[in-house]
Every structure is written in C-alpha cells, then in structure tokens.
Structure 1
Amino acid sequence: MDTFGLIVVVCTALLFTYTNGFHDSANAIATSISTRALTPRVALGMAALMNLAGAFLGSGVARTVSEGIIDTPTGDGGMAILFAALLGAIGWNMVTWYLGLPSSSSNALFGGMIGAALAAASAVHWDGVLTKVILPMFVSPLIGLVLGYLVMVATLWLFRKANPRRAHRGFRMAQTVSAAGMALGHGLQDAQKAMGVVVLALVIADVQDEADGIPTWVKLACAGMLSLGTYVGGWRIMRTLGRRIIELDPPRGFAAESTAASVLYSASYIFNAPVSTTQVISSAIMGVGATRRISAVRWRVARDIVASWFITMPAAGLGAALVYTVTQALLG
C-alpha cells in the first residue's frame, strides 16, 4: 500500500504542478502580451523555458514546504493527507481558472495541507504557518504595490525628457528581459513547492531521509510539468492581469514585471519564504497603474482579486478536509 500510495501522491503532485503552470503562466507574461512586447506563443515558450531553469536555482522554499507547515505524517494515513491536500489545491485552481481569477496556487496548496492535517488530527506548525505563509501573504503584496508605484515614479522621472515613441519602443524590447526574469522567479518559487510535497511523500514512504535533499528526478519531473502547464497557457487569467486591472503600456509593464521579479528572488534567497507570484504581480500592476491616476486602476476588479486571496486558503482547506474524510471512509 505504501508503494501504491507513493505513486498516487507523486502523480497527483505532478498534476498540481501542471495546473499551477497553466494557472500561473499569466503571472509572467500577461503584461508583455497586453503591451504587444511579445506574441502569445513566443511569450509562453519563453516562460516555459525560464520556469524550467528557475526550478534548479534553489531549494529553500521546498524545505519550508516539506518541513515547516505540518508534522511529517506517517504510513497510509500520511499519504492520504498529502493526496487530500493536493486535490483540494487542484480543485481550487480549476475553479478560479474557470472564473478567470488570478488566485494563488501556493496558498491553495498550503490551505490544502492545513485542512487535510486538521481533518486527520495531525499537528500543524502554526508558527511556521504564521511566519512562512500568513505574513508573506500580507507583506509581499504590500511590498509589490508600494515598490511598483515607486519604481514607476522613478521611471517616469528618469525618462521625462525622452521621446515618447522611442521610449515606448525601448521599453517594449526591455519587457522581453523583465518577463524572462519574472518567469525565472516563478519557476524558482512554484516548482519548489511541488518538490517539497514529493519529498515529504518520499520521507513518509521511507524511501529517503529528510536530510537527503531533493533528488534530481524530482526536480526534473516538477520542472517539466510546470513548464508544460505554462506552455498550455491560462488565457482567462491573462485577460484579467493584462487588461482588466488597468490598460498597461510598455513602461508600466516593464516596471510591474521588474518589481515582481525582485520580490520573488528576495523571498526565495533571503527568507526561504514561499510567496505567491499571483499576489506579487497583481499588486505590482496596481501600484504602477496608480501612477497614472488612482481612478485608472479598476479597483472593483482589484477588489475581487484581493477577496480571492483571502478565500483561497479556507476554500482549499475545506476541500482537502472533505477529500480526506471521504478517502478514509472508502479505505476504512
């Protein structure tokens, strides 16, 4: 049963990573597509390659996921917890994708893990949840909002005497670099979250020890599925990020992507904190948009996005708890 459970959990983790890719691919490329800096297929291909590369650039976030959120469960019950957590996250990803809401796959996964652990009466590391999940969930969007505003103000001042047409053309070219940086940060963050779950499953199955790190095949599998999902693309969410919050121009697109990428790298390398790429880029877009004028941001759309952030963890947690309960009833 342990081997079968391990296979099921690993396959489900890869499915989650795939949905994460097409759900969150908009994070890296929506602004570049909306400003016509890149064509959709070129942008998706570039994002897929950079996601693949980013997955190999660190492991701190994966350690946080595998060790810092819930107690390492044991046996078949432990596999059931991970299976339920992943299905809860996948279910919420699909709901928000259908609605075109850029919600956080990361927070869906953490909500699923917490909900399944609570349903199983397994210990949750609430201090880790607070410092590694809740605080980043609030702080990173605020940083993205403020930093995006400041970066755009500085950009407008530096290029205040530039020819508008030439400046727009230059920023459109620069967006190729900023979008690639954003995609690299997405791979660095989001592939590691699935890696952490797979490592946790390997520890439960007694295949490896927690101190052994992340096997190369796990990195390859998670990175490959994230890239594949990214290439499929999440067109509904792209429209929300690219046009419904604010009509972006190349300078604002470049500022938003550069801001979001810097936040992702800082969170990964300095704090080992799993932050949401969705929240960071959405808030950065709001920040750069507010420099045009406050009313230029469609705050009703922004309000719906922010509301989805708060709903994500409880909704995914409830779904995971339900899956765990049903699974235990069927196995019992």
Structure 2
Amino acid sequence: MKATCQKYFLNFKQPSGTSRGVLTQKETWFIILESNGKKGIGECGILRGLSIDDRDDYHEKLNWTCKNIHLGEEKLWQELIEFPSIQFGIEMAFQSLKSENPFLLFPSNFTNGTESIAINGLVWMGEKQFMKDQIEDKIAQGFSCIKLKIGALDFQKELELLHYIRQNFDDKTIEIRVDANGSFNETLALYKLNQLSGFKIHSIEQPIAKNNTDTMSELCKITPIPIALDEELIGVFSIEKKEQLLLKIMPQYIILKPSLIGGFQGAKQWINLAQKYHIGWWITSALESNIGLNAIAQWTFLQQNKMYQGLGTGGLYSNNFDCPLEVDKGQLWYRKNNNWQVDFS
C-alpha cells in the first residue's frame, strides 16, 4: 500500500465571521491511499487556532503517517491520539479504500437517496443587517432550525435579532440555537443566559471559554437554557478523562465534530458516555470540504439521531468539490445521480 498527502486551500465565497476572527480561507489536507489499483481518500480537516493538533509538527506527522501506513488503521489511530484530524483522515481513507466506490463509505437509505438528514441553517457573525439578511434567507430556504453565532456584536443587537425572529416565528415553527464560542465573560454569563431565555432558545453552545470547568459545572446546574459543550471536548483523549469531564460538568448536550475529537471512533466514545449519563448530543461538521462532509454525513445517518445536525457547510466555498450532497428545505440529501468531480492524480 502506498500513501501520499496533499494540501488544499478552500476559499470562502464571502468572509465568514467567528468569535476568533473572520475566515476567508480554510486549509485542509488529504491522505490518498493506493493498493491493488484502487484508491481511497481521507480528509484531515484541521482548523487553525482551534484544533488541538494545530502544531508546528503537523506536516511532519502527516508524512510520518504516510510512511508508516503499513501499520494499519487501528495501530495508526492509537499512535495518532494527539492528532485527531489525522485520525479522522486515516479512518476515512481506509474505509474509502475498502469500499467499492471510494466516496460511498457507509451505504444506507441516505446514500440510496430515500431518506434525508435534518440540519440547521447556520447564520454567521457580522453586522446586524448582514445577520438579519442571512436569517431571512435561511427561513425562505425552508430551514426549521437556525443556529446563530453570537459574541461579536453588541449583545443588545444580538438580542434584537432574536426578538426579530420570535416576532415572526414561534418556537414550534423555528428552533433557535446559539453558539457563543466561549465568548461570554464568566461573571456575566448567567445574566446573559437569563436575557436569552426569553426567546425560547433550544440551546447555547459553549457560553464560556473551555477549561473553566468549575464555572461551567455551576452554569449547567442553574442555566435557564440548555448548555451544549463544544470546544470543551477538544483535547480530551482518553475515555477515562472524557467520562470525568462529563461527570464534572453534566451538560445538557454535547456537540461532536469528528475532525476535532478523533474521528468516528472518538465521536462514538463520546456518544456512548453521553447515553450512559442521559446527555443529549448531535453531530456537526467542522468546515471540511465536501469530501470530509460526505463521510461525516453518511456516518451520522447510521447513528439514527433525529435531532437537527450541523451538516450544512458544503456551500460555503467557491472551490469545493462537486458531489451528491444537496440541501433542500432544511434537509441534507444524497442525490446519487450527481457525480463527484475530484482529481488527485
């Protein structure tokens, strides 16, 4: 078996704002496996400034992985424990190589095109009018769940946006999720949660920065809005530490991004623990290309979680790969008659 890696830059159609700054480009890496005339492809979806494996030796570790591909998937997964995005790329590449079609990793009613995955519509941070336009656009497209990234505007303006939605749509018509990306000040967090609670919010992701587990635990006990951990899960490698974290904080939800938490195997460990402690969960992509998104979506469908998933990021880039994934009225479909356009020759 031969393995190579290639870097690829995804270009955003328009600058996309987060609490960590505005994104115009996203770097990703692909691992390509070749064996007996077949090819497999996996995506190592690193997010600079967020991924625990955003390290100086990342490229070196990718090269090491390609040189040691003979170790096999399971051994490599263990060796790459501190490089979750490469773990994910390896899992995907081996599954791709094993499959009859390199992009049909997990056959199901989803890949047959007979069932879809309910997803949220993502509203990026920006000026109030820009966010309002996005909200109107998502609702016009038929989304029943909208996720707003907050924490960049004046908080009062963000409350006005929520008021605008609720003036026109009740919580049975539109589910609202908000993502603070850890931007709330610890001392003001409860005050802000109380302000938000008047808008019948489904949940808030990561209200305060990660590693403030005492405060987060207290917030989860008294919050008027269910809290979902996101960044908090990054860099927690062993099952023992994962269990300790959940027992300490006892959040209402956890959010699983395979690229950031050790691929499908890492995500499954979190799911098993969440179910053990009656914690809700859903799965979200982390700005991968359509190659990574395709793998995540196919795997997500198999988990049979009926909540809205965060898998609507395929249309963000001007140079993404044509693929069968299509968003229609807030549902992600696999249109098997739509062909892939990928060239890594």
- What's the TM-score, normalizing by structure 1? 0.26
* Structure with the higher fraction of residues in helix conformation: 1
- What's the TM-score, normalizing by structure 2? 0.26
